[in-house]
Amino acid sequence: MPGLSTRTGQALLAQWHRVAGPTWAALCRRRLAAVPLTAVSVVLVIAFHALALTDAGERFVWSLAGVRADVPPWLVLLRLPLSLFARAPGLPWWGALAQVIVIFGAAECVLGTVRTATVSLTVTAAATFFARFLLALGPGHPLAVPPAEATLADTGPSAAVVGLLICTGWACRVPVLVVGTALAFSLECVLTSTLSSRAHLGGIAAALLCAAVVCRPQVRTAPLSPVASPEG
């Protein structure tokens, strides 16, 4: 009989194929037509990075996609879709680009364009407004963050990536991806006191809700065998 490590490796490989298989099949069948949202997102990340290299361009990007704790909520909602592609504090632009290509691309192949966009925006909005809640808690709360965090931009695709990883794992029946993502970002919250890391808790909760509501796995039913006619 195979050992524990062999069985574990086989189980992990099988779960990997549950995500990689549909992704590869969709890309082979439809090519870029399978990932229109991802393609547009890649262009936006590159364009925003190029614009932000100049002072005037950076101000322009901020006027379109800038989100921070002192921005009015109505303006946050208007800027939220483009804020996913603006430069994030502590994340190089090529890191955001890699996240968009890999995670957005796989999610779009598995979930479809509409559900990928829905999950991305919902989870990002949840993380953004949960960050404001954390800032309002004050310094004595266990989840409190340093006041200086309020001045940092709340942009980038990280919250959307959390949501898409969880929802893709849920839809493909890959519990390792769902649990691993939730635990990894929860551990980040424990180890660091940054606003972005702790805001991911709100994103995780929203992602699990999205997974349960709009990303339910397809139920595969076995074909019914023909009923034998009774003998006369």
Number of domains in the chain: 1
Each residue's pLDDT tens digit, 60-94: 999 999 998 888 999 999 999 999 999 887 788 89
- Per-residue pLDDT at 22 exceeds 90: no
147 confidence band (pLDDT: 50, 70, 90): confident
Question: What's the CA gap between 79 and 153, in Å, rounded?
Answer: 12
Among the residue ranges 20-24, 27-31, 113-117, the one predicted with the least confidence is: 20-24
Give, in degrees to the nearest 5, the angle at Cα 106 between 32 and 88.
100
Higher pLDDT, 1 or 103: 103
Give residue-wise pLDDT tens across range 211-228: 988 776 654 433 434 444
pLDDT band at 121 (very low <50, low <70, confident <90, very high): very high
231 part of a folded domain: no
Q: Which residues have C-beta within 8 Å of that of residue 83, sequence separation ≥ 6?
A: 65, 66, 67, 124, 128, 154, 155, 156
In a domain, 226, yes or no: no
pLDDT band at 124 (very low <50, low <70, confident <90, very high): very high
- Give the number of other Cβ atoms within 10 Å of residue 91's Cβ: 15
Q: Is residue 1 part of a domain?
A: no
Please give the model's pTM, rounded to 2 decimal places: 0.85
Domain-located, residue 70:
yes
Q: Residue 147 domain-assigned?
A: yes
Which residue matches tokens 């099949």?
Answer: 25
Q: Do 4 and 160 form a contact (C-beta atoms < 8 A)?
A: no
pLDDT for residue 70: 84
pLDDT digits (tens, 9 = 90+) for 28-63: 888 888 899 999 999 999 999 999 999 999 999 999
> Residues in the chain, how many?
232
CA distances from 72 to 68, 77, 144 (A): 9, 9, 21
In a domain, 165, yes or no: yes
Amino acid, single-letter form, for residue 148:
A
Average confidence (pLDDT) over 197-202:
88
Distance CA 193, CA 149 (A): 9
Domain housing 201? 15-214
Return the CATH number at 78. Answer: 1.20.1540
